Amino acid sequence: MFVSYKWLQDYIDLTGVTATELAEKITKSGIEVEGVEILNDGIKGVVVGHVLEREQHPNADKLSKCLVDVGEEQPVQIICGAPNVAKGQKVAVATVGAVLPGNFKIKRAKLRGEESNGMICSLTELGMEGKVVPKEYSEGIFVFPAEAEVGVDALALLNRDDEVLELSLTPNRADCLSMLGVAYEVAAILGREVKLPETDLQSSTEKAADYVKIVVDAKEDNPLYVAKIIKNVEIAPSPLWMQTRLMSAGIRPHNNVVDITNYILLEYGQPLHAFDYDRLGSKEILVRRANDGEKFVTLDDTERTLTSEHLVITNGTVPVALAGVMGGANSEVTPDTTTVLLESAYFIGGTVRKASKDHGLRSEASARFEKGVDPNRVRVAGERAAYLMAKYANGEVLEGAAEADTLSVEPAVVSITLEKINRVLGTDLGMKDVKEIFDRLQFTVIVEQGTITVTAPTRRGDIKIEEDLLEEVARLYGYDNIPKTLPIGSSTPGRLSEYQKKRRFVRQYLEGVGLYQAVTYSLTSEEKATQFALEKRETIRLAMPMSEERSILRLSIMPQLLEVLKYNSARQNDSLGVYETGAVFLANGEDLLPVEKEHLAGAITGLWHSHSWQGEKKAVDFFVVKGILEGMFAKLGLAEGVQYVQAKVEGMHPGRTAEIILNGEKIGFVGQVHPSVQKELDLKDTYVFELSLKAVLEADAPVLQYEAIPRFPSITRDIALVVNKETVSGTLKEIILSSGAPLLKEVQVFDLYEGDRMEEGKKSIAFSLKYVDPERTLTDEEVTKVHDRVLEALKEQAGAVLRG
């Protein structure tokens, strides 16, 4: 809402309060003022001039040579490019030395050989927005009414010596979508009186009710419809002061009748519509729901197809307006209109919203209906408009109005105790303070003992419950005056849950080993949503996505991380490790919430280690990433329960991928991205993992318990085994551990050979076995006995023989 500082003074005395001070006060007490625009900022030296002569420029088709009286001793010659400049006009002239917006200085100049002493201005050249300039002047200079006095400040005449406050209104304060509403608000802030506009007039002896009958079929959508009739109007431009006020508020002037309806919309917040009575073609207004498929041409000359959810004003048969949204071309006011039917009605917000949304027609009027208008202003707004039409369109206002009224207007009555006010706000107010606040708001109050009962005026439809009164008190008492305290009473322990603590640890650990944390989008494309998914499920699609690229909820994090690597790789960062923790979404059936599982994914590409001047370089490989995971599981006390099993995962290298099993359950995978995928993304060798973080963080880990340090020496035996190529070290290790128990404490791979010196299809793996007895020193014989058992088991279960 744009509020003119000058206009506001019609309703309230602002003596001693500048526009900027007012803005500050309004902001502090509840409505944010986003800015204060000084309309004539940076403009000077523009006066009203009288075009005495106009002739064609001798050397240019599109220029005129004008002799203009600017109130000085001698008229001046000005070259003008506007197509509409004509002899006899009163125009805005930027004289030599004037400054226009953008610090544009007017100098004496020669245009195509002819002297020019100034510039005749259009409204946009004076800093006004093109969309509010009256259509007839949109392509050229503005022309003042003939009575404008030559030599006076043109900007003052255009009401540009004004400041406009831009109010950012929250939905509960629709009352301030009107100058009067703002006046009441300012009155409450300043403690001053509101002056109401003039509405009294001499009406004719004819009765409006004799001209038209109002029938409302859809009473729930339209509980009150008031029509006034104004005869013998003369359509003409509205007075300059009205046009300029509309323009400052962002509305383009049309003619006196239409401008008056818009002026009332701004003044009272009540949208009005003016029909050409004669073009209605009946003596009836019937308000009803439209028929499905009914066609109607709105006054923007667009044919609309209506449904039974839309409310229409009809002449008894065909629609003449889409209620609260836009009038029809068939009944629009034209220059020939003589009798106006003025509609002032109360339409229900939801109905108007549906129509304005369906037809993409959001207007100043629809916005006000949607947020709710004051039921008590419907009639008075009509009276005021009729008054202005009598005054500025020479109309004859018929007596009374034709009406259909089923609206019950019950002002809200709300009580609150002083004790509650002070208890909730933390203040120490007295009843006198509170009463004074409601008095300033012009709410009716009754004080009984400790309780205050308030009757809120209907313009403040947002006042319904105790808390609304609390808010009024708080904001007008001032938040600056409310003390600062901290909650007292039973204390609560502040802490993270075990899960949250462990998650923080995992993040820190991964960053400690060199990965950067990424945060990517949960929404992705159909194609990417299921790539690398640990569990195959139906995808979850948005009902109305903004793009295909962000239409599906992800089932895995990996595709996004690969995108991150691709993005960085393309920007000369082709060696990088990233990780992300975040939810993936598993569909659960039509009307159920999906299962959200927190995943952990990591991706490393390019060189893992490089020490430039020492020439050390190591590309990431499977065992780098596996090592990172092993470290993490060890830190979480889960190492014992984790297994890596060779596996095939779509999109992954078939020979370099393992599933991760935790306590017998598959929780994720680790491995190299398939070379064809790497190539597609233009990545170097890339190793990744993705697993269910939830499964990891919720797994039971053994409680930390001290284990005695062995007091007796261990005996180590190294063995080199020849096995089939397919035999994996993990299998051998398990055989060794189980057959060597309990003396065998540790087993480690220390060599792997698959070279030419091996028999076809064979490889050699060497293990180091460590035997310890915590109670005594082992003898060689004892170890040999167990060691032989291990070798036997290896031979039997894996066909492993000692390398000769």
Binding residues for Mg(2+), by number, are 462, 468, 471-472
Is residue 494 close enough to count as binding other proteins by CB under 8 A?
yes
Is residue 124 close enough to count as binding other proteins by CB under 8 A?
no
* Min separation Cβ 1 and other proteins, Å: 15
Q: How far is CA 352 from the centre of its chain?
A: 23
Judging by beta carbons within 10 Å of its beta carbon (0-12, 13-18, 19+), is residue 56 exposed, middle or buried?
Answer: exposed
Q: How many residues bind other proteins (CB under 8 A)?
A: 97
Rg (CA), the chain: 42
- Which residue shows structure tokens 């008075």? 380
Q: Which two tokens stand for residue 681?
A: 């993304």
CA 354 to CA 361: how far, in whole Å? 10
CA 233 to CA 226: how far, in whole Å? 19
Is residue 468 close enough to count as binding other proteins by CB under 8 A?
yes
* Min separation Cβ 28 and other proteins, Å: 7
Q: Rank residues 206 and 596 by Cβ distance to other proteins and give the closer one.
A: 596
Residue 35 phi/psi, 5-degree rounding, is -175, 160
Contact in structure between 211 and 229 (CB atoms under 8 Å): yes
* Min separation Cβ 146 and other proteins, Å: 42
Return the residues of window 532-551 that contact other proteins according to CB under 8 A: 540-546, 550
Triad 683, 684, 688: Cα angle to 5°? 80
Binding window for other proteins (CB under 8 A); candidates: 224-232, 328-336, 399-407, 500-508:
500-508
Q: Rank residues 471 and 782 by Cβ distance to other proteins and give the closer one.
A: 471
CA 446 to CA 432: how far, in whole Å? 12
Q: Rank residues 66 and 576 by Cβ distance to other proteins and give the closer one.
A: 576
Return the residues of window 611-630 that contact other proteins according to CB under 8 A: 611-614
Contact in structure between 338 and 298 (CB atoms under 8 Å): no
Q: Which two tokens stand for residue 107?
A: 């100098």
Is residue 519 close enough to count as binding other proteins by CB under 8 A?
yes
Is residue 205 close enough to count as binding other proteins by CB under 8 A?
no
Residue 227: closest CA among 144, 179, 171, 286:
286
Specify which residues 476 forms β-bridges with. Answer: none
Is residue 511 close enough to count as binding other proteins by CB under 8 A?
yes
Return the residues of window 367-386 that contact other proteins according to CB under 8 A: 370-371
Contact in structure between 745 and 772 (CB atoms under 8 Å): yes
Q: Rank residues 343 and 370 by Cβ distance to other proteins and give the closer one.
A: 370
Q: Which position among 15, 408, 492, 705 is part of the footprint of other proteins (CB under 8 A)?
A: 492
Site string for other proteins, 320-359 (x = CB under 8 A): -----------------------------xx--x------
CA 712 to CA 596: how far, in whole Å? 52
Is residue 269 close enough to count as binding other proteins by CB under 8 A?
no
* Min separation Cβ 754 and other proteins, Å: 30
Binding window for other proteins (CB under 8 A); candidates: 329-337, 384-392, 479-487, 716-724:
479-487
CB count within 10 Å of CB 27 equals 15
Is residue 474 close enough to count as binding other proteins by CB under 8 A?
yes
Is residue 490 close enough to count as binding other proteins by CB under 8 A?
yes
Residue 459: closest CA among 437, 442, 434:
442
CA 673 to CA 656: how far, in whole Å? 9
Q: Rank residues 486 and 709 by Cβ distance to other proteins and give the closer one.
A: 486
Site string for other proteins, 160-189 (x = CB under 8 A): ----------xxxx----------------
Is residue 514 close enough to count as binding other proteins by CB under 8 A?
yes
* Min separation Cβ 356 and other proteins, Å: 12
Is residue 446 close enough to count as binding other proteins by CB under 8 A?
no
* Min separation Cβ 578 and other proteins, Å: 7
Residue 581: closest CA among 561, 564, 567:
561
Return the residues of window 24-83 that contact other proteins according to CB under 8 A: 27-32, 35
First and final C-alpha spacing in the chain: 94
Site string for other proteins, 1-30 (x = CB under 8 A): --------------------------xxxx
Q: Rank residues 57 and 173 by Cβ distance to other proteins and give the closer one.
A: 173
Q: Which position among 110, 146, 202, 593 is part of the footprint of other proteins (CB under 8 A)?
A: 593
Q: Rank residues 405 and 471 by Cβ distance to other proteins and give the closer one.
A: 471
CA 544 to CA 345: how far, in whole Å? 36
Is residue 191 close enough to count as binding other proteins by CB under 8 A?
no
CA 289 to CA 309: how far, in whole Å? 7
Helices 240-248/256-268 angle, 10° precision: 50
Is residue 634 close enough to count as binding other proteins by CB under 8 A?
no
Which 3-state string (H, E, C) describes 756-801? CCCCCCEEEEEEEEEECCCCCCCCHHHHHHHHHHHHHHHHHHHCCE
Q: Which position among 110, 135, 495, 776 is part of the footprint of other proteins (CB under 8 A)?
A: 495
